[in-house]
Structure 1
Amino acid sequence: MTTRNTDPARHPRTAADAIRAFNHATLPTRNGPGITYPGTAYNAIGAMATLAHRLPQALDHITLALADLHNAGHLTADHGTPAQHATTTVKALREAEHLATALTDALERAHSASSPLGYCGPMDDTDDDQ
């Protein structure tokens, strides 16, 4: 359980580390692809769609926090004005929300399209892939 005293940025860092671990685990090698079975791809796409689906809300929370800090007069800036930087940040976060929604839609289409795929190649009993 998190409290307001913990660093919420640790959660996106953990997610980024998990994606990095996925990238390493699925890296194709000379011996073959990093993902052997379509069921594994299907599950991974579904999990990534879930992650992408949750991004707009997370980005909105950051936007709301910055707006609250700005409205309370609690922002300062090394150069320019806090309002300039807050406005630019919010605009970029709103754009990221729209892009995350588009990413979610694309991943959901990929998830659906990969659903009927099956495997008909040789089976390797030592393989961890599903």
Structure 2
Amino acid sequence: MTTRNTDPARHPSKAADAVRAFNHATLPTRTGPGIAYPGTIYNAIGSLASLAHRLPQAFDQIAIALADLHKAGHLTADHGTPTQHTTTAAAALRDAERLATALTDALERAHNASSPLGYCGPINDTEDDL
């Protein structure tokens, strides 16, 4: 149970909505790519790397909360046992931590590789880039 006045799950929900908005904003069009300039690409990769970097802690804290609820005897299950589901969820969260760490590493490599890139094409003053 949270001691705060808001549901903490709303924050990852907002992050998911923000990524969806980014995906829609960067769809390629008939006239060109969804992102016009390498600086915008660099910034987007950096922001995604920051997001990925924070995920392992979030997964760990969820696993700790689940374990605490289980140890306190505050869980029930519609089928199977709370122990079975808690064990499966904890293992999956550990996998998610490892994958998020790998994602962070890959995004940091992409961020570093895109750092020296510049733009030398025509500039469209009416184009609205992120």
TM-score, with structure 1 as normaliser: 0.96
- State the distance in 1 between where 2:3 and 2:94 align: 26
- 2:34 aligned partner: 34
What CA deviation, in whole Å up to 9, does each residue of 1:48-74 have, x standing for no partner? 000000000001110000000000010
What CA deviation, in whole Å up to 9, does each residue of 1:16-56 have, x standing for no partner? 00000000100001011000000000000000000000000
CA RMSD of aligned residues (A): 1.3
- State the distance in 1 between where 2:127 and 2:3 align: 41
Aligned length: 129
| Percent identity (aligned) | 80
Please state if 1:91 is matched with 2:91: yes
- Equivalent residues in 2 for 1:104-123 (5 A)? 104-123=104-123
- 1:46 aligned partner: 46
- 2:64 aligned partner: 64
Query: 1:126 offset after TM fit, Å?
Result: 1.4
TM-score, with structure 2 as normaliser: 0.96
Query: 1:3 offset after TM fit, Å?
Result: 5.8
Q: Show structure 1 runs of 4+ deviating over 3 A.
A: none
Q: Which runs of 5+ in 2 are unaligned?
A: none
Q: Which runs of 5+ in 1 are unaligned?
A: none
- State the distance in 2 between where 1:66 and 1:3 align: 16
